[in-house]
Amino acid sequence: MKYVRIGVMIILGSILLSIGINLFLTPYKVLDGGIIGIGLILHYLLGLKAGLMVIFLSIPVFLIAWIYYRQYFYNSLHGMLVSSFFIDLLKPLSGVIHLAPYISSLIGGIFVGLGIGLMLRIGTSTGGTDLLAQFLFEKTGINVGILIFLIDSIVILLGGLLISGDTFLLSCITILAVGLTTTFISTKSSHST
């Protein structure tokens, strides 16, 4: 029963994250942070599949996890693969809803934060910088949502330079929403570990 619950949470979290990205972020070239954000930068600039890029970009982090944090490797591998699959599967949703860019960025960030937060509550993640934030939480005790927010800030600065000022401003809204939502959803899980 435990594994069924974990599987359902991974799928639900991945779908929420993917809806946030495809329905609300990609129509305005908005970034999430971390490895997903880097995957989106590659998607916007080169037309590459964002989910597939997340898998390739996550390899170094998963190698570190395999060597030093084997439990995180096993817990997060599923989350990364399933969320990457759904990011590419739900790509046709892009452009279905038309909202003001700022509203879309906010709602997209909430959806992404819900997805990440649900996975963190069961001890898994989408890998990448979520996994890195989990490592850092174990070492420092700093809340996972705050760590993700800091890492994400670096990625959106890069995206703002490479794509546009609008991308940067809208992405700021998104990562703030992701960070706050992830913190709210994952706090119970973080304090109980």
Residue 75 reports pLDDT greater than 60: yes
- Predicted TM-score (pTM) of the model is 0.86
What pLDDT shows up at residue 40?
94
Q: What is the pLDDT of residues 82-136, one digit of tens each?
A: 999 999 999 999 989 999 999 999 999 999 999 999 998 888 877 777 677 777 8
Q: Which of 54-63, 102-111, 150-159: highest mean pLDDT?
A: 102-111
Which of the pair, 146 or 115, is modelled with greater confidence? 115
Residue 20 reports pLDDT greater than 50: yes
Residue 26 reports pLDDT greater than 90: yes
- DSSP of the chain, one letter per residue? -HHHHHHHHHHHHHHHHHHIIIIIIGGGT---SHHHHHHHHHHHHH---HHHHHHHHHHHHHHHHHHH-HHHHHHHHHHHHHHHHHHHHTGGGTTSS---HHHHHHHHHHHHHHHHHHHHHTT---SHHHHHHHHHHHHH---HHHHHHHHHHHHHHHHHHHT-HHHHHHHHHHHHHHHHHHHHHHHHHHHH-
CA–CA separation, 55 and 40 (whole Å): 12
Burial 122-133 (b: 16+ CB within 10 A, else e): bbbbbbbbbbbb
Query: Residue 39 — very low, low, confident or very high, per pLDDT cuts 50/70/90?
Result: very high
